[in-house]
Structure 1
Amino acid sequence: MPVGRPARRRTATLLAAGATVLACLAPTAVAAPAPPPGAGHPDPLPVTGDTVVHDPSAIRLKDGTYVVYSTHGGLEARTSRDGRHWQRSGSAFTALPSWWRAYSSESDPWAPEIVHRQGRYWLYYAVSSFGSNHSAIGLATSPTGLPGTWTDQGKIFETGPADPYNAIDPGIVEGDGRLWMSFGSYWTGIRMVELDGRTGRPVAGATVHHLATRPDAPYAVEAPYIVRRGGHYYLFVSYDRCCAGTDSTYNIRVGRSTSPTGPYTGSDGTPMTRGGGDVLLAGHGKYIGPGGQSVLRDRGRDILVHHYYDGEDGGTPKLGLAPLSWRPDGWPTLAR
């Protein structure tokens, strides 16, 4: 999400957009260069019900229920039995932790990331105000992953005005036998720290690795999410401007590396620390500014989970689900 955005990302195991469908299957947000033309990009899968979300993270729970957590309202929740029809189902938090107020006067959390590890569910999220890097990433745990069952474990990482990066948009990946958290928005871009696999918190003295940035101000890259596949790690990011309704220019790009800490490059070899990365999805038709992405890995299938701004509904942010496939050369592509 952008330097403190009014809504957000960041995602772990969801969907079967109906077994049938899946079987087919910072600085001020200144206008950045327009994304590549959207011609040729596929539309998301059809979904119904309450699909008004920002920065969605999705998972399929043990009982088969799909749940999407998203920015705002104590991390709003939507649930589904088939991955197609969604209903509002409360929020992750029924009582808001008091420490949030130090970072957000509205106690408004953003950009959740839900994963299942060690027999329980872990929910990472950010707390900040728009345009500030006085930000923090928190952690909550739950035995079921259902809304209203989360116990907050407090703040695990923070940034302030003296830091050259921003503690928002957490994303979790395991690699090289270790646990990692990517994060970041604007400032100097995307960063990563190692986490303790037992506590889910940064290891003592963790190195802050640099994964991606843009070469020009306002360095508009955020919402990192990393997928491990084969011998590579794939870094998905959102470029350009979010949170501006039909004026949003968000687009999703991807690079890869043989190490979780990089270096990541696009398919042309350009490092992501110099603005590299292949365009995976850009705005087209009524689907404006797709971003805030994660990848749902559900029973051998991959789904790109994101939001877009509906050009036929006043720019309302909505849930996008797009089947993700992989080319013979290893690079991801969206199924049509």
Structure 2
Amino acid sequence: MSNFISKVERAIIMDITPNIATHLLSTSVGNRKIRDWHVDVLAGSMARGEWRITSQGIGIDKNGNLRDAHHRLMAVVKSGVTIRSVVVMGLSLNAYEVTDTGIARNMADLLNENKRITDILNAGARLYFDTTRPVTIDQMRPIMDSGLYDTAKTLIKHCNTTRTFYSSATVKLAACINIMNGSDAEYVLTQYRALCLLDFASMSPASMSLVKQVNDGKANARARNLDTICRALRTFDIHQKDSSESSAKPDQIAAAIKIVIDVLNNKIILTDQYPKPESKANVIKPVQVIKKPKKTTGIDDELKELLDERTTESYLHKSGDRKKYVNG
């Protein structure tokens, strides 16, 4: 076992085996708060061969005691993978007090991209990998290559306005998935913009129904509220533009999530890491429209008037103006 005691500050790059990681962890001073989910993320990255040497190393004080990098070392032990890392020895005993404690960089930092775009990528990746945890940049690459990145940029370029719920990551993801799945891009972009601006005159009946669902408290922008993807996919589907359907039943939610995963699967530029999926047609099945008396409590006067006057023939759409912003 290497001797990590050093009276002078020095840094080396070396292999960190599970045995060395276990030894270093045994020298840790005090009880560090461990985030198990973060260990899992790092271990998964190591197991997939995504780990790279960075300037952020393992810190050891002059007595040979571990001062930081606990999560990384625990991930080495958990994954059973040997990694290469910078190791800094001979640190003063109070060095930990000034160790960088800043928030970990998010995907927007890593990609040097607008957060309004990267939150769409994150929303898609988390549904695709069925996780609530952050995904790594390597996991994100096939999601970006699927065409979602370019579609997201088109959406935000068309309307950069933010509004609670309507510009949430999940709603934006639903708009992008509809475009990628062959829906009329002009219709999707128009409806997304109308929702963000609350431009009732440009809204389809389905979009106005979504506004009513939000105002009635049926839909909200809480994180991981999976019924939102179901409601938003339906809203941006031109075949359901006249729908007033407001339910989001478990089977409808499951079907909506499957559509997102299938669209991404069928568009991804495949690598050896990702097994080739069967190509399938993705169809959003129209729901039967049930006419019910409209509740107007809590709806602002302009929306109420439009809901009362709007007929199924009132929305005009030129199918000849169809555009698609997808790769291949």
Structures share a fold, TM > 0.5? Answer: no
TM-score, length-normalised on structure 2?
A: 0.25
Structure showing the higher strand proportion among its residues: 1
Q: Of Structure 1 and Structure 2, which has the larger fraction of its residues in helix?
A: 2
Q: Which has the larger radius of gyration?
A: 2
